[in-house]
Structure formats: C-alpha cells, structure tokens
Amino acid sequence: MQGISVVVPVFNEEGNVRELHKEILEVCKKENYNFEIIFVDDGSKDKTPEICKDLKPLKYIRMRKNFGQTAAMDAGIKAAQYDYIVTMDGDRQNDPADIPKLVNYLEENDLDIVSGWRKNRKDTVMKKFTSRVANFLRGIIVKDNIHDSGCSLKIYKKECFDHISLYGEMHRFIPALLRIKGFEVGEVVVNHRPRTAGVTKYNWKRTIKGFVDMISLWFWSKYAVRPLHILGAGGMVSIFLGVVCAIWSIVLFALGYKMSNNIMPPLLTVFFIIVGLLMFIFGLMSDMMSKTYYGSGIDKSYSIKETIENKETEE
C-alpha cells in the first residue's frame, strides 16, 4: 500500500476545518494508511489559522494572502511526500469516507488519476446550472471524457505533477491537462454533502476565469508544440482574402468605377494583408517560444510511462 497525502485548500473555513480534519484522520487510521494531512490556508481572515495550528497531525501551510484555490492546491501538492495525493475542498461537502473508494479504483484499474463525480449534488439551483453549462462547454472544447471536472475530490499519483504547475483556475482542468500528457484518467461516483458552515467562495468572476483557462487549455492541447499551424494557417487565409479584395479593386477600377465611391475593397485589401502578415509573424514567434520552452528542460511535449531494459542472460 502506497502512502497518501491529503491536500485541502481552506479559506475562511473556521466552522469546518476541525471536523474535516477529524473525518480525514478517522478514515486514514481505519484503513491503516501511511498518511499525512496538509491544510493550505489561502489567506484566511477568520479563526481558521488558530484552529489549524492546534490540529494534530497536520502539515499547515499558510499563504501570505488570498492567491486562489488553484495556487493553494499547487502549494499543497508540491509539499506532499507520499506517492498518492488526494485533494478535496475545505467546506466538508466532499466526503473523506470516499477516499478508500478512490484508492481502490486507482489501483484496480492501473490508473494515474481518479476524479470524483458528484452525481447527486447538494448545491443551489444556480450553482448546479452554472456547473452544467461549464461541463457542457468543457465537453466540447476540452473533451476530458469525465462528467464532473469541477469536483475537487480526486486522487493522483505523485508523478503526475513532476513537470506541471497550476495557475489561474486550472485545478478544474487537471484531468484534461494530464490526459494531454498521456496519463490514464478514471472517474467514480462520490458522495456530495450540503454545506453546513461558512459561505461559498464561488462567484461569477471565477466562472469567467475558468472559461478563459478552458480556452487556454484547448489551445495548449492542440497547438502547444505547433502554434505556427494555427496562426500561420490563419495568416495565409487572411492574406488570400486580401489578394481577392485586391483583384476585386482592380476589376472595379478597370470597369471605370471611381474608387472614392468604392472605398471598401481597397480598405479590406489592406486590412486582410496586414492582419495576415501579423498572424504569420506571431505564429513564427510563438513557434520559437514553444521550442525554447520545451528545450529548457522544464517540461516536455511527451510523457514516458515506463522504461524496460531486457538484458541478455549469460548461459
């Protein structure tokens, strides 16, 4: 059995952290895990820090200010020491009793990540609606093949994060990000409980940030190693339209039309050609930046699962 690091970002959760810690501790002891519990305080202004400092066993990480759930989760993941990393929300809506289910499913199916699916959510109607719209768009744009990427209750093999840093609202799209790298992703139905203390931290700003990150992830998955393919192709199309407009302008001039009365064709010619050239130049620059990024050794455009070397035996 591998060791487990349970990572929980918390922000103004004074009414939840003590009970959540107790539940996690009971589950880990019952299952006889080698474990650690990591609470990452994302700049709480209530009594969360005082309560967390009294909890044992606990690795408590306090951020200097509120950097957001993704940053807190990234800090906790980087501080984890065991081979399995379980993440969950600090509002007690995720049920620690589901941890063994995630562990078993991961090991039985030889997966790299298992995501929880809150099939029966205990949220407000508006929050459910927003989540369903986000899941629908994610299914079209990102295509991570899971039902509930927004569920924070997940388990990962630590190696998943060897070359990944989280930012923005990217914690929602970790399964998609890892699938791009070739990791195997699974999903199981988990319990979802109503909030009993504190207030939700989700708002329209986080929804917009999540959508922007979704577009970024789509571009990264499609064109991270070949940005010139999309920008260069778009530039060539724009230049072609500029040439068409130029021919249109010449034909109109040859037919005796006054260009002062038909200013649109020349304007479109200049517009499309300039835009096309800019897109092509940006594509070349992005292509060079991509090669520099992957050549720096920080990340790779591929991921190796294992290497086996069979040596000839001596007779």
Q: What is the pLDDT of residue 135?
A: 67
> What is the residue-level pLDDT of the chain in tens, covering all 315 positions?
679 999 999 999 999 999 999 999 999 999 999 999 999 999 899 999 999 988 989 999 998 888 888 888 988 999 999 999 999 999 999 999 999 999 999 999 999 999 998 888 776 666 666 666 666 666 666 666 788 877 889 999 999 888 777 776 677 778 888 887 788 999 999 998 887 776 666 655 666 666 676 676 667 666 666 777 788 888 999 999 999 999 988 888 888 777 777 788 889 999 999 999 999 888 888 777 766 765 665 555 444 444 334 445 555
CA 181, 137, 142: angle at the middle one, nearest 5? 10
CB 113 within 8 Å of CB 97:
no
Report how far residue 262's alpha carbon sits from residue 260's, in angstroms, rounded to the nearest whole number.
Answer: 6
R_g over Cα of the chain? 26
Kindly state the helix (H) or strand (E) to which residue 26 belongs, with its residue range.
helix 17-30
Start-to-end C-alpha separation, the chain: 37
Phi and psi, residue 60, nearest 5°: -105, 120
pTM for the full model? 0.70
Amino acid at 304: I
CB 110 within 8 Å of CB 172:
no
CA dihedral 62, 65, 71, 72 (to 10 degrees): 30
